[in-house]
Structure 1
Amino acid sequence: MAQKTREQLIEVGLKQIHTAGYGATGVNEILALADVPKGSFYHHFPSKEAFAAAVLQRYGEGETHRWETMLGDKNQAPLKRLRLYFEDLISVYGQTGPISGCLMGNLTLEIAAHSDVLQPMLKGCFGAWEDAVAEALREAVAVGELDPSVKPRELASFIVNNWEGALLRSKAERSDRALDVFLDFTFKVLLKG
């Protein structure tokens, strides 16, 4: 029963923090949405920050599954997989998706500079994501889709950073235009073989 309550709190928190933000999401709101008593929250999480860490970990697990599934599909060429992956991200986190924006990016903007708990977690999440993109780029070099002089890790960092910037801009404009520009430029110019 206790594990079920913890899971329920994390699932509700993931949706609420992703939608409204860390600062705009209160513990009482989470409790009401999860329909659990206040004592249950503090039984599982010593603070809102610790709760946000559990939410971020859950989000990271979901995103890891997404990139492992999509980027690990060896039935497609590496750059094709990478493009399909970012197209999927647009459908999920773009303005027409169920929840616009990336939780990692949102938390970075909102709290990373002030949280010694969340900042290293966010750094690790971004690093793992860059590793996954870099691996796809290494494969693209190995099969001749990209020039051998490409530095996969640096290029992956550039791509992830540009994605996050485009996602932020798409929220400001309430449009997927910045994401479409990211996709076109990344795959038609930057990664053109």
Structure 2
Amino acid sequence: MMASKEKVALKSPFGTKMTSSSTRDRLIEVGLELMRKHGYGATGLQEILHAAGVPKGSFYHHFGSKEEFTAAVIERYFTLEAKHVDTVLNNTRQAPLKRLRRYFEELIQMAGQSAPIAGCLLGSLSLEVADASPLLQSCLSFSFTHWQAAIASVLREAVEKGELPQSTKFESLAGFLLNSWEGALLRSQADENDAPLKDFLRFVFDDLLAK
């Protein structure tokens, strides 16, 4: 998820506080793991504090609320996923569509049923809290928009290099691919197998994007 070389004219909603506090980082790391495993509602403050070994006062020194804390967790997830994007999607030594396929293949390993923690935090939080929290809705939308822009950048390059037709609407296509991936991932979790993710790969790269 998902910074790209293509700039997106959006103001970040995260409101990051410039701090190198190891306590703050520890809380975010623990919160990220617990929310990925259990979701927002099932991850309580006491559970976070106990797992991080941090007193309640320290938590509120860094975060005004669980909502603000979750925004920081989303930002951390966004930053980690952006590193994966940079490693794979921005590797211009490989053909655009080849590295896009490699990217989604690696996402299956990272988020599919064989992963240490299955699923996508952005997707799960979108279902759970986006309609109840304007702050978190904004953070989630920001993250998805930048993720889509990273995919669109690769598709645009594919058009420029003749891998896709000149008529390709790469921005809309990127949104379709991202939305299809998230839907396939959700179905994968419901079925407890990776068949929907493998179907996504096959239909996207063997049919939709095949010349």
**TM-score category of the 2 structures, normalised to the smaller one:** over 0.9
Name whichever structure is richer in helix by fraction. Answer: 1
Deviation at 1:133, TM superposition (A): 0.3
- The residue aligned with 2:11 is none
Partners of 2:20 and 2:127 in 1: how far apart?
33
Partners of 1:157 and 1:133 in 2: how far apart?
8
Q: Which runs of 5+ in 2 are unaligned?
A: 1-18
Higher relative contact order (CA 8 A, sep 6+): 2
Partners of 2:106 and 2:127 in 1: how far apart?
23
What is the SS of the residue equivalent to 1:114? coil
- The residue aligned with 1:95 is 113
Partners of 1:161 and 1:131 in 2: how far apart?
13
Residue 174 (structure 1) aligned to one of 175, 192, 211: 192
| CA offsets 1:69-109 (integer angstroms, 9 cap, x no match) | 11000111000000000001000000101110000001000
Deviation at 1:143, TM superposition (A): 0.7
Residue 82 (structure 1) aligned to one of 82, 96, 100: 100
After superposition, residues 24-39 of structure 1 pair within 5 angstroms as 24-39=42-57
Residue 164 (structure 2) aligned to one of 146, 165, 173: 146
Partners of 1:141 and 1:50 in 2: how far apart?
40
1:148 maps to amino acid: Q
Question: Does 2:207 align with 1:189?
Answer: yes
**Count of aligned residue pairs for this structure pair:** 193
Partners of 1:113 and 1:79 in 2: how far apart?
35
Partners of 2:40 and 2:182 in 1: how far apart?
18
What is the SS of the residue equivalent to 2:43? coil
Partners of 1:64 and 1:114 in 2: how far apart?
26
- The residue aligned with 2:85 is 67
Q: Which runs of 4+ in 1 moved over 2 A?
A: none
What is the SS of the residue equivalent to 1:117? helix
Partners of 1:94 and 1:165 in 2: how far apart?
13
Normalised by the size of structure 1, how large is the TM-score?
Answer: 0.98
Normalised by the size of structure 2, how large is the TM-score?
Answer: 0.90
- The residue aligned with 2:8 is none
Partners of 1:128 and 1:97 in 2: how far apart?
24
1:75 maps to amino acid: R
Partners of 2:140 and 2:20 in 1: how far apart?
27
Question: Does 2:23 align with 1:5?
Answer: yes
- The residue aligned with 1:50 is 68
Partners of 1:103 and 1:57 in 2: how far apart?
11
Question: Does 2:153 align with 1:124?
Answer: no
Q: Cα RMSD over matched residues?
A: 1.1
